[in-house]
Amino acid sequence: MLAGTTGCSRLRPKPHREYVYVMAKETYLRDRVAAVSNRTADVQNGDRLLVLDHGRRFFKVQTDKGAQGWINEKMVATQSIFDQFAALTKEHEKDPVVATGVVRDDVYMHLTPGRETEHFLRLGEGEKLKLLRRATLPKPVPPGLRAVAPVVEKGKVVEAAPPAPPAMDDWWLVRDSKGNAGWIYSRLMDVDAPDALVRYSEGQRIVGAYILNKVYDPDAPQDDKNIPEYVTVTSPYTSGLPYDFNQVRVFIWNVKKHRYETAYRDKNIEGYLPLTVTMASDPYSKAPASATVAPTYNYRVLADDAPPVVPDPVTGAVVPSKTILKTYRLEGNLVRRVLPPDATPPDETHPEPVVKKAKKAAVHRRAVRAKRRRR
C-alpha cells in the first residue's frame, strides 16, 4: 500500500513556483502585516523572492537563503516584467555601442522609453554604461494643461493661439556593467569625455568622444606621455532633436605647445550615430602618403532630398530615410575627406540656413559701417 502511494505521488505534478523581484534600492521583510512588526531579512534591488502566500497588497516571500517575511507589492516586480527585461537584454546583446557614459544619480532602467513605463533594475551613481540608441518622446503634461481654451474679447469668442510644440524627453537604450539592457532618462547620465575636451565644447553637449590616434609627448603635463587624439560629436542642449549631433570636431595634440588644437570641424549637419573609427588606406588615391594605413572615421548625415525626420510617436525612434556616408582620414595633423577622383560631394541637409561666404562678408561690412555711424 505504501509503495502504491509513493508511486502516485511521483506522478503528481509539482506545484507551480511563483517568484517576484525586488525593485526598491533596499528594503526589508517583516514578520507580519501590521503597524508594528519585526524585521526578518534585508533585501536589495534585483533579489529573487519565492512567493509563499498572498495578502492584501502584500506578498509573503522567502529569500534564497531561507528567510521568510512579508513585503509590499509595490516594492517588487512580477515574473512577467522580469522576463520582458530578460528578452530586451537578449534582443540587444549584440547591438553596436555608439558611445559610453556614466550614471549621474540613482536611476531605474525602463522597459520602454517613458516616465510611466515599467521599470525594474536600479543603477547607482557612477555606474558605467554602454549607449546603444536614442529615442525621444513628448514630455508628459498634466491633464488640465492640455486643452487650449477659447479667448473671449468684447463678448466675442476668439480662437486661442495654437499651442507651442510639446516639450520632449530624450531616452537612451543602454547596457550596464552586468550586461543588462534598459532605457534610462538622458538627463540622469553623462557621456564619457575627457575633461581636457569638455572646455572646448563651446556650450554644446558632447554626444561621443572617440580615440583616433596617440602621439608621444615627453614633456606633456599628463602622467601618461602617450596622448590620445580624438574625434568628437556634439549637439545643442535640446531634447527632441531629429538628429543625434550637428557638429563633428577633430582634436590633435600640439607637441610643441602641449595642448589640444582643432584640426577639422564639420558644422551645421544632421548627423546620426554610430561614428566608426578604423585604420585604413585611401582606396581612391594613388599618392604614396594616402596608400598608407591611417586613422579613418565615418558617419552618416541626412541627404538633401530626404524628407524631414520625425520621431516615431509610439517608440520615439529617430530613423532617417536617406543618408550620406562621409569618410575622413587623419594624415599627420591634417584631416582629409575620402572621395572618388573628381567626385562632387552629394548635397546634404543643414539644420540652419547656409550663408555663402560672399553674402556673409557683405553682412559683416554693413555691420561695421553701422557701428561707425553710431559712434
**Contact by Cβ (8 Å): 275, 349:** no
Mean pLDDT by 10 residues, the chain (375 residues): 47 75 94 92 95 93 95 94 96 95 94 94 94 93 61 61 79 96 95 89 93 95 94 95 96 94 96 96 74 92 95 93 96 93 91 73 67 65
- DSSP code of residue 320: -
Q: What is the pLDDT of residue 185?
A: 95
Per-residue cell: 369: 559701417
Q: What is the pLDDT of residue 369?
A: 72
CB atoms within 10 A of CB 104: 13
CA distance 134 to 317: 7
CA distance 149 to 88: 42
> What domains does the chain contain, in order, with CATH numbers?
14-78 (2.30.30.40), 92-140+166-192 (2.30.30.40), 194-360 (no CATH)
Three-state DSSP state, 131: strand
CA distance 102 to 176: 9
H or E, element range at 195: helix 195-198
HSE on the CB side for 185, CA within 13 Å?
Answer: 17
Q: What is the pLDDT of residue 148?
A: 56
CA distance 339 to 327: 8
CA distance 336 to 296: 10
H or E, element range at 5: helix 2-11
Residues 6+ apart with CB under 8 A from 142: none
**DSSP code per residue over 35-101:** SS--EEEEEETT-EEEEEEE-SSEEEEE-TTS-EEEEEGGGEEEHHHHHHHHHHHHHTTTPPP-EEE
Q: What is the pLDDT of residue 130?
A: 96
CA distance 318 to 309: 7
Which residue in the block uniquely carries the three cell numbers 570641424? 265
CA distance 105 to 123: 8
Which residue in the block uniquely carries the three cell numbers 580615440? 211
Per-residue cell: 338: 575620402
